[in-house]
Amino acid sequence: MGIFTKKPIGQLLQDSSDGEHTLKRTLSAGNLVALGIGAIIGAGLFVRTAAAAANNAGPSVTIGFIVAAIGCALAGLCYAEFASMIPIAGSAYTYSYATMGELVAWIIGWDLVLEYAVGAATVGIAWSEYLNKLLEMFGMRVPYEWSHSPFESLKDAAGQVVSHGIMNIPALIIIFLITLLLIKGSKESAVVNGIIVISKVSIVVLFIVLGWAYMKEANHTPYIPAATVYSDSQGVAHNFGGIWGILGAAGVVFFAFIGFDAVSTAAQEAKNPKKDMPIGILGSLAVCTILYVLFAHVLTGVANFEDFRDATKGKEASVAYAIKTYMTNYSWLANLVTVAILFGFSSVILVMLMGQSRVFYSMSRDGLVPKLFSDLHPKFHTPYKSNWIFLVLVGGFAAFVPGDIVGDMTSIGTLFAFMLVCAGVWILRVTNPEIPRQFKVPMVPVVSVLGIAVCGAMIAGLGWTNWARLGGWLVIGLVIYYTYSRKHSKLRTND
């Protein structure tokens, strides 16, 4: 058996019929749309929008949202077909194992660490920023050096460094607390989760409605800035303005759409997958895209995008800054935004850390990573050893790496996974056309090719520094595969 050995579809389907994977079809198209909206709206909108406007596109960040949504829609349809055909844990890792073989499956499983683990670190850093905004209501804040990475520094108006980051302690604390929650196996109640979702959507709508009257035309002129190169406070160069700026913004704000694939994983619970899955995926993406475009349009109209470049102004907790600075008489909204966002961020970290442990659980069961990743707690029946290991990894990123860097790493890792899923649907249509599919992507291979092209364009827009980080990450993964995983693969050893 070679590195392109595939896991038999029959074996996967047998796995999908075991116990926990036998699901009742109770979800309607409306339920799936609501599920998607709840999963999508999170940290990305409230944090990455301002970063994309500042570093990449200015007001045309709205166009970046549209490009990102198109890429998500194309990949989402491919996810839906896979989920209706192979409804088991592991997501893109499992799909790749069945279509492109073990090596590609390993690469995508390793790559998903960037989506889930590094994504959780990104949200943890954002949580830290908004915690300081909350503490400021009571005349307190965590000192700059203990709420920022050692690669960040605070400069005064003259450009002189006044403080250096040492360690982001609040980000590390929230990840530690949520890790404890995951080990114990506690679950959010439907009521609490519902309140969090409603609060997030309500905040977005409130900001759009109330902020519309405070927009200034000058902040939107020109809407698409001329193409230049902008170096941020850390010395990282970004393509700003023009088509490359928009593509770069699309890659950055793509983080705001992560979570929509939760809809595809519910394929086996849909009453009529053939009809309900495309409605659920495209419907939730359409609603969120409209909200995102309006939100970004208002945010860049209320505050100038250059405010979001300045650490002493709106670079951190940008939404609260824009409201307090430019929307007079609405400081209560800024406070409400801060509290709602903190709760929302906490739930996003929980979902991402849980997703990461599930992917490595599947990889451990296949022998590609050590058995300890699938060892369950004797009392709580959770992969507690895996949770502790990822606490160290995620906590390290959150405590010592700047938020912009880990956010872009999350985006590029997820985009790469989406490209492989789009390719996998095409491959499986050719190699296994006989497999029953509750939902089929229309116009394959056109949709697959377009999905690969759009996601690839967003990766290109993220720039060479992020390509280098992805390349370095994959090299580390390949070293692990050839030194450990290849020798311990259960499919190879017939264990």
**41: its two tokens:** 């709206």
With cut-offs at 50, 70 and 90, classify the pLDDT of residue 310. Answer: confident
Res 313: pLDDT: 75
C-beta of residue 56 within 8 angstroms of C-beta of residue 245: yes
The amino acid occupying position 450 is L
pLDDT above 70 for 190: no
Q: Which CATH number fits domain 9-14+25-121+180-329+408-493: 3.40.50.1000, 3.30.465.10, 3.40.50.2300, 1.20.1740.10?
A: 1.20.1740.10
pLDDT in the model for residue 21: 38
Query: What pLDDT score does 188 carry?
Result: 45
Reported as a single tens digit per residue, the pLDDT across 375-424 is: 887 877 778 888 899 899 889 988 988 876 776 777 788 888 889 889 98
Break the chain into its structural domains and give their ranges. Answer: 9-14+25-121+180-329+408-493
DSSP 438-453: SS--TTTTHHHHHHHH
Sequence-distant (≥ 6) Cβ neighbours of residue 291 within 8 angstroms: 41, 201, 204, 205, 208
Contact 92, 108 (CB under 8 A): yes
Element (H, E) at 155: strand 153-155
Average pLDDT for the chain: 81
Q: Read off the pLDDT of residues 411-430 as tens digits, 9 standing for 90 and up.
A: 788 888 889 889 988 988 88
Q: What is the pLDDT of residue 334?
A: 83
Higher-confidence position of 190 and 360: 360
- Of 17-31, 162-176, 451-465, the least confident: 17-31
User: Is the predicted pLDDT of residue 344 greater than 80, yes or no?
Assistant: no
Distance of CA 69 to the CA centre of its chain: 13
Sign of CA dihedral 432, 434, 437, 439: positive
